[in-house]
Amino acid sequence: MTAPSKTRSRNRPFPDSDILTHSRVVLKPDPSRTVIRPFAPSDPAGFGDKDHPRAQRIVDRVLSLDRASLHEALKRVNGSLTDRHANIEESLRRRFDELEGLTIDRATIGRDQALLIGAYFSEEYAFEAAALFNPSIVLHPDQSGLERNAIRFIMALRGIGEGHVSSVTFRTGTWAPGRAVVIDAPGPHAVTPRIEQDDDDQDDIVRIICGDHDDISESVIFPVTPSQRQGIEDLRLVRFVDDDGEIRYLGTYTAFSGADVRQEMLRAFDFRHFEMRPVLGSVSAAKGMALFPRRIDGRYMMLGRQDNENVWLLSSDDPYNWSGGQKILTPKWPWEFVQVGNCGSPIEIEEGWLVITHGVGIVRHYCIGACLLDRKDPSKVLARMRYPLIRPGPKQRDGYVPNVVYSCGGLVHDRTLLLPYGVADSFSTFASVPVDDLLAAME
């Protein structure tokens, strides 16, 4: 496709028309979904005793309890946590084993003492209590047992909890063009992950193990490294198919330390076991990178927004190292005068690479649009939407950050785009549109 046809241009919708089918499904934050994460109380500057630090004082108090008091305290712990956490004893014991710098003889510590000490150095964290938004979506590896023309999908969402800290949470569901989106009820427990990192690992690789549960929605990835201290933001998940047919589920995300941002890459092996590592190169300290779902001419391709204003195309022989790039999409229409960026990985269709975009315009309104890149040479922009596909409206503008609609990725099935998107940095919903109608809205 070299350019939209004249027929498509004549049929382009007017600015206020809506070519979308909007879903009634709304995913809202759920404060009852929690994980157990480390809690590390310490002495403020100028207080405490460096020879007898706060952690040691807490442990000493636990060890001073008589048997009856110890059992009563542990009973309260179990009563509080076992109804919404699987394997709570394993989590507390693991937390005890992680504690360092304590003057205790671990060989003399009983089971109940170890569990209670682990509980004092743990906290329950509601990872999606405040918001659930900016979703991305990919085909589920299991497509068996479905009705005709239906697909099963996995969706990653950004959850926000206490302290405005962002984590990654998952949902599964089914959909077929012309039918309603169905979201599976999340599993009864969110699994507290086990974190593995080699002290001498020069690549800064972190492995996340969420156990052997059957429900992907029970996997949660919360910040575990200093670079992620304030959040893991906006995972752009992609089903990557390599030249030899190997399928990898990858996703770029923004790691926010509270002061600095950097791009990192997630690999989901079965959505229960994950690997995280930093993206290297000159563009790594930026936001909004999105990986193409396959190599082009033997090289990995990526969209970026390293200047915070334009969409760039990058090429690399290493999926974890990106530099340089060329600017391919700049603000053109009023709804994107401030900046334009991607809303997830490009989607390959017959006509080229369909890229869902976001634009920032007047009063910092975030809108969603789309463009089409050449299939063989994605540096060529064939067409783009003059008017937004989705814009903040009376029912889609109020929330934690008003006047924002945003997505981190959609999918195309049977020539229909399914697009999950976040509203006002608060909740998520869905819309769908035939690809032909979407292309007709471009020029």
Q: So where are the chain's domains?
A: 6-33+128-440, 37-125
Q: What is the pLDDT of residue 16?
A: 56
Distance of CA 90 to the CA centre of its chain: 27
Alpha-carbon span 23 to 129, nearest angstrom:
23
Q: Count other Cβ atoms within 10 Å, centred on residue 441.
A: 25
How large is the average pLDDT for residues 301-311?
97
The answer to whether 243 and 300 have CB atoms below 8 angstroms apart is: no
Helices marked H in 164-293: none
Give the separation between CA 360 and CA 300, rounded to whole angstroms: 28
Q: How confident is the model at residue 378 (pLDDT cuts 50, 70, 90)?
A: very high
- Using the predicted structure, report yes or no on whether residue 6 has a pLDDT greater than 50: no
Note the pLDDT of residue 204. 87
Neighbours of 298 (CB within 10 A): 7
| 197 secondary structure, DSSP code | -
Residue 15 has pLDDT above 60, yes or no: no
Beta-carbon-side half-sphere exposure of residue 266 (alpha carbons within 13 Å): 31
* DSSP 8-state symbol, 334: G
- Whole-number pLDDT of residue 240: 98
Joined together, the tokens standing for residue 63 give 């060890």
Fold (topology level) of 6-33+128-440: Tachylectin-2; Chain A (2.115.10)
* Coil/strand/helix, residue 272: coil
Instruction: Render pLDDT for 229-258 as a digit per residue (tens, 0 to 9).
Output: 999 999 999 999 999 999 999 999 999 999
Cα-based angle 114, 120, 123 (whole degrees, multiple of 5): 125
Place of tokens 């936001």: 287
Confidence bin at 192 (pLDDT 50/70/90): confident
The Cβ of residue 148 has, within 10 Å, a number of other Cβ atoms equal to 5
Coil, helix or strand at residue 362: helix
pLDDT score for 49: 87
Long-range contacts of 99-102 (CB under 8 A, 24+ apart): 99/55, 99/59, 101/53, 101/55, 101/56, 102/55, 102/56, 102/59
Helix orientation angle between 67-81 and 111-120, rounded to the nearest 10 degrees = 60
Cβ neighbours of 386 (radius 10 Å): 15
Region label for 88, one of left (φ > 0), alpha (ψ between -120 and 50) or beta (otherwise)? alpha
Q: Write down the pLDDT at residue 40.
A: 92
Whether the CB-CB separation of 294 and 231 falls below 8 Å is answered with no
Q: Name every residue whose Cβ is closer than 8 Å to that of residue 18 and which is 6 or more positions away in sequence.
A: none
pLDDT in tens, 149-172: 999 999 999 999 999 999 999 999
Query: Is the predicted pLDDT of residue 4 greater than 50, yes or no?
Result: no
3: pLDDT strictly greater than 50: no
Q: What is the pLDDT of residue 394?
A: 82
